[in-house]
Amino acid sequence: MKTKGRLMLLLMLVVALGLSALTYYGIGKDKQFSVNDIQQGLDLSGGVDIVYEADKESVSDEEMSAAISLLQGRLDWNGWAEAEAAQEGTNRIRVQIPGVDDAEKAIQEIGQTAQLLFVDEAGNVLLTGDMIKNATKQVGSTTKNGPSSPYVSLEFNEEGAQRFAQATAENIGKKIMIVMDKTVVSAPTVQTAITDGKAIITGNFTGQEAENTAALIRAGSLPFNLNVIQMKNVGARLGADALSSGVMAGFVGIALVLLYMLFMYRLLGFAADWALIIYIALDLLVLSLFRITLTLPGIAGIVLSIGMAVDANVIIFERIKEELILGKTLRSAVKIGFSRALPAIVDGNVTTLIAAVVLFFLGSGTIKGFATTLMIGIILSMFTALFVTRFIVNSMIKAGLHNPKNYGFRVK
């Protein structure tokens, strides 16, 4: 029995050390799954925060989704892979770009989304950009036996398809200019009437030029303009200081909790601390694995969930103490204590989880970051408190640690 208990403890030691090493060192050159692989939010890494507002009073959900998609595409196209565009309220979009320190330059590069126009040689507007369903760069031959080259593929919506068919039928042999912000993006010559709702723009495009043109057309297909109503820079130094302060606060808080548990409950506290280390490693691993962006409020969510994990252990240990006072053996008290504590732990965590879910779906920006880490923390803390701590405590008892005094209990 003792050998089995010691082997179980050894297993948990390997798990704790393995998870800790994984989250500290990671895997490979990129240190995957480590703390260095966790995406940092704007308040930690520094960057630019911009809020756009539609110039229409009433904007539909579909139009806002299209606007967000277009801005996100612009961000991706500029190489800001970690930048994010998200809706705020009914007609605003918040754009956050980590690692960029010039808000005005970023706005210029994203572009003040303008309306796109298709005009004939006389300057008559034939179509507007909101009739374009999509514009993409393609590479291939556009003529029979012709060489393969980049071009731009357009797809119109139903209204756009009808108007484009009429426009091309009336302008065969003439140019139809695609204009945005009074700049001619492209001026293809109509070869034939196009009735299938699709068109291509050919020319001596390089791959990048074709991509740029497609991006300009996509950006111009909004049925409204987006005005910048707020912009601010978060300096990299300020973000680093915030991260350092947050991490330090987390370390101090965790260290105090570990010491308190060890002082109050001795071996049970040691088991809780052991489980807590596994919990922290699992929490960081989940953040890295699912590419969850960590913000300063997110760190607060992690620290709060650590407190909840410890709270669950305290409830369990007090139940065990009650059973020991009633004369139960240590093994029996542990079994009954965990069972009696289960309803209270589940109720407390589920109610907090509900509040976190509401914050996640109704909140925005940093509130979502807090809610995300809190939800993850609640689920993981329940797992470690109810299963990992129990496994370690049972392993200790099987290993021969039977004296209740070693667990911080004074029973007659």
Q: Across all residues in the chain, what is the average pLDDT?
A: 82
Which of 248 and 23 is assigned the larger pLDDT?
23
Q: Is the pLDDT of residue 365 over 60?
A: yes
Task: Give the distance, in angstroms, between the CA of residue 120 and the centroid of all CA atoms in the same chain.
Answer: 45
What's the mean pLDDT in 274-287?
92
CATH of domain 116-219: 3.30.1360.200
pLDDT band at 16 (very low <50, low <70, confident <90, very high): very high
pLDDT band at 218 (very low <50, low <70, confident <90, very high): low
Class of 1-40+235-406 in CATH:
mainly alpha
CA–CA gap between residue 45 and residue 8 (Å, rounded): 41
CA–CA gap between residue 96 and residue 77 (Å, rounded): 15
pLDDT band at 6 (very low <50, low <70, confident <90, very high): confident
Q: Which of 5-14, 294-303, 358-367, 396-405 has the highest mean pLDDT?
A: 5-14
pTM over 0.75: no
DSSP for 102-160, written as a single string: -HHHHHHHH-----EEEE-TT--EEEEGGGEEEEEEEEEESSTTPPEEEEEEEEE-HHH
Which amino acid, residue 130? D
CA angle, residues 40, 43, 46, in degrees to nearest 5: 80
The backbone torsions φ and ψ at residue 46, rounded to the nearest 5 degrees and listed phi first, read: 85, 155
What was the pLDDT predicted at 182? 64
What was the pLDDT predicted at 367? 79
What was the pLDDT predicted at 388? 93
pLDDT band at 22 (very low <50, low <70, confident <90, very high): very high
What's the mean pLDDT in 327-338?
87
Least confident span in 1-5, 175-179, 362-366, 372-376: 362-366
Q: Is the pLDDT of residue 156 over 90?
A: no
pLDDT band at 324 (very low <50, low <70, confident <90, very high): confident
What's the mean pLDDT in 164-181?
83
CA–CA gap between residue 230 and residue 53 (Å, rounded): 9
Q: Is the pLDDT of residue 175 over 60?
A: yes
Q: Is the pLDDT of residue 148 over 70?
A: yes
Q: Is the pLDDT of residue 376 over 90?
A: yes
Q: Where are the domains of the chain?
A: 1-40+235-406, 47-113+224-233, 116-219
Which amino acid, residue 399? A
What's the mean pLDDT in 247-264?
86
What was the pLDDT predicted at 379? 92
Report which secondary-structure segment, H or E, holds 201. strand 198-201
What's the mean pLDDT in 209-232?
72
- The Cβ of residue 182 has, within 10 Å, a number of other Cβ atoms equal to 7
Among 361, 299, 364, which Cα is nearest to 96's?
364
pLDDT tens digit string along 42-101? 777 778 888 888 887 788 777 777 677 777 767 766 667 667 888 888 888 888 887 777
Least confident span in 242-251, 275-284, 316-325, 393-402: 242-251
What was the pLDDT predicted at 14? 94
Beta strands in 12-79, from DSSP E residues, in sequence order: 47-54
What was the pLDDT predicted at 223? 62
Q: Would you state the structure tokens that stand for residue 130, as one six-digit string?
A: 């909101």
Considering Cα of 104, then 105, then 106, then 110, what sign does the dihedral take?
positive
Which of 236 and 372 is assigned the larger pLDDT?
372
CATH of domain 47-113+224-233: 3.30.70.3400
Q: What is the percent of the chain where pLDDT is above 70?
A: 88
Q: Answer whether 350's CB lies under 8 Å from 381's CB.
A: no
Upper half-sphere CA count for residue 40 (Cβ side, 13 Å): 22
Please give, one letter per residue, the 3-state secondary structure of 36-51.
Answer: HHCCECHHHHCEEEEE
Least confident span in 33-47, 86-100, 173-187, 275-289: 173-187
Q: Is the pLDDT of residue 411 over 60?
A: no
Which of 268 and 402 is assigned the larger pLDDT?
268
What's the mean pLDDT in 382-398?
91
